[in-house]
Chain A
Amino acid sequence: DAGVIQSPRHEVTEMGQEVTLRCKPISGHDYLFWYRQTMMRGLELLIYFNNNVPIDDSGMPEDRFSAKMPNASFSTLKIQPSEPRDSAVYFCASSFGGEDQPQHFGDGTRLSIL
């Protein structure tokens, strides 16, 4: 099993540019999560999907952030326009259904907005 695959691993871009982060969940998992990790706020859940449908986006910081899951094997998190305060590590995780199913994390995307 290849695990959760995220790309790119690192992204450096200038303020105002559009940023797109990508995630491929573990095959068979029907839940997909996007997290943001910063020193100040720790690990925050941004949004999660069940069977490709967004279930809870209450953690999305503002309208500049959007996420999609067009099929069971692909999701994107987009920031437009990006700002320096968006700099963080963004993790994608996936799991089987059920409240006690462990979430498996990808290696993350380290995003720096200059």
Chain B
Amino acid sequence: GENVEQHPSTLSVQEGDSAVIKCTYSDSASNYFPWYKQELGKRPQLIIDIRSNVGEKKDQRIAVTLNKTAKHFSLHITETQPEDSAVYFCAATPGFQKLVFGTGTRLLVSP
């Protein structure tokens, strides 16, 4: 089955710096890769997603890149702000509507 690995598990940056979170997946059939942000005690919320026919997608300060050959995808946050502090999860869809999540990255943005 699909296995999604996510790194790093924790990431501390200064406000204004960039943050990068990386994920790898194992199933070449996966074709949809969403990213979720989860604040403490809250639900996971979709922040950006990318489909396998696209190499990069941007939404304001957030971007995601996908390398299907290498089976990895990354989340990039520029000009980080304290409110970006949360746990971020990547996921892959190996088909049949299932999402397999990574283990999460705890991002801390210090003022």
Indicate, yes or no, whether A interacts with B: yes
Known contacts A91-B43, A100-B51; is-contact A55 B96 (Cβ 8 Å): yes
Report Cα–Cα, A31/B98, bound state, in Å. 10
Report Cα–Cα, A55/B97, bound state, in Å. 10
Which one, A15-23, A74-82, A101-109, is touching chain B?
A101-109
Q: How far is the CB of A78 from chain B (nearest CB, A)?
A: 21
CB-nearest residue of chain A relative to B49?
A: A102
Known contacts A99-B97, A100-B32; is-contact A107 B42 (Cβ 8 Å): yes
B80 lies within 8 A of chain A by Cβ: no
B25 lies within 8 A of chain A by Cβ: no
A48 lies within 8 A of chain B by Cβ: yes
Q: Are B104 and A42 in contact (CB under 8 A)?
A: yes
A-contact 0/1 string along B25-60, CB 8 Å cutoff = 000000110101000001111100101000000000
How extensive is the interface on chain A, given as a class?
20 to 34
Chain A residues with CB under 8 Å of B102's CB are 42
Q: Are B44 and A99 in contact (CB under 8 A)?
A: no
| Residue of B44, B93, B100 with most chain A CB atoms under a 10 A cut-off | B44
Checking A95, A100, A106 against B43 with a beta-carbon cut-off of 8 angstroms, the contacting residue is A106
Chain B residues with CB under 8 Å of A31's CB are 97
CB-nearest residue of chain A relative to B100?
A: A45
| Residue of A45, A98, A99, A102 with most chain B CB atoms under a 10 A cut-off | A99
CB-nearest residue of chain A relative to B53?
A: A100
A-B CB contact pairs (8 Å), 17 listed: A42-B89, A43-B44, A43-B89, A45-B98, A45-B100, A91-B44, A99-B93, A99-B95, A99-B96, A100-B49, A100-B51, A102-B46, A103-B34, A103-B46, A104-B46, A105-B43, A107-B43
